[in-house]
Amino acid sequence: MKGLCIRLRQPRVAEFFVGIGLVGRALELEGCKVIFANDVDPVKHRLFASNFDASVFTLGDIRQLHGHDVPDIEIATASFPCTDLSLAGNRAGLNGSHSGTFWEFTRVLDEMGSRRPSVVMLENVVGFFSSDGGRDLRAAIEELNALGYCCDLVMADAKWFVPQSRPRVFIVGSQVRLPTRDGDSGAPRLRPHWFEEFASRNPDLLLHEFPANPPRQNEVRISSVVERLTNDDTRWWDEERTRAFVESLSPLQTARVDELRDRADLEWRTAYRRTRNRKPVWEVRKDVIAGCLRTARGGSSKQAVVEVGNGELRIRWMTAREYARLQGVPDFCIDSVTESQALFGFGDAVCVPVVRWIAREYLLPALVSVTQERLATDERLRVCSGCAAV
């Protein structure tokens, strides 16, 4: 019962690389309290301020932060930039100017000294595991180990909760080696083969596997988040643009669209623009979920919605409200920014239901374990001190 009481004392959170604040939203829905947040982007700060307590947000470069700037916390999170780790990026890794800010996060933790949080969580793209042949991941774990954290690695996908394919890697570090408990053997694998291979190649690292219960898999469809626009809405592409879309399709893609158009009921799919044989083409997903939302800057990063059926075909760009729904925050306020700025903010964010699951199944149990271990250590010291006095 002592552990349960600890869990309910509203753990304090510092959110680094906060973006628009969706990690914090998830943690607060699970009983935590964000008391510090930092990001360098003023537009994301504007979105954050429209939805959360702006007084906790420190706008500025993490390079200018120091340990004494961070209040006492139990949990620290860092969704540091994926630019140099992503397969679509330059693959400069943790030496890159963007993803290299990981080292600034650990510097701040180091400067906090004895006030370091009990639990840390890092989030990034799956490419983190292969960056620089796995050396970047090893370097990151080594650094966290040096700061006193035993680490675990979990892969989770937004499609378990919402109609969006968005696999992400989470590194959870705790100041004690976590106890094991029986986990649900069904549902998705939380640690694919590359985790086992990484652990076997690096036996000197402080790693453990906490068997969190995987979520139940639900069938989710893009139709559950699509805004129903009227046929005369100006956001639908005009006839010329729609014709260009159709003409760019491969024979396989054309057959897919034609089959959908022949159905009696409307269906929705998403599409990306690709470069094939040095030519821009459109490709329509064959499944009923969206592709991974990206930081929309144009070109292949933007995702289109295809409405098709009953002999009709309409196409448009995905809206910011649909992005919000795909990230698990359907009522998120976006009035303070432009549509493109909102798309960028959501594309850089995390999926809220994923982080809620990690908080419930991992972060909070880990925090309880760390706190209980500290209480047990304090009790042992008290008993030893009493014995010495006698």
| pLDDT tens-digit series, residues 145-180 | 999 999 999 999 999 999 999 999 999 999 988 866
pLDDT 10s digits, 77-107? 999 765 545 545 444 555 655 557 889 999 9
Q: Three-class SS of residue 77? A: strand
Domains of the chain with CATH codes:
2-220+346-380 (3.40.50.150), 228-318 (no CATH)
Distance set, CA 255 to CA 223, 306, 307 (Å): 21, 15, 16
pLDDT 10s digits, 188-232? 478 888 888 888 999 999 998 887 888 887 789 999 999 999 999
pTM over 0.85: yes
Smallest Cα–Cα separation from 282: which of 258, 315, 310?
Answer: 315
Q: Are 106 and 147 in contact (CB under 8 A)?
A: yes
CA 249 to chain centre: 32
Residues pairing with 313 in the sheet: 308
CA dist 136 and 129 (Å) reads 8
Distance set, CA 140 to CA 103, 107, 153, 172, 220 (Å): 8, 12, 12, 12, 34
- Residue 1 in this model has a pLDDT that exceeds 60: no
Please name the residues in contact with 279: beta carbons below 8 A apart, sequence gap of 6 or more. Answer: 248
Determine which of 1-5, 35-39, 261-265, 316-320 has the lowest per-residue pLDDT on average. 1-5
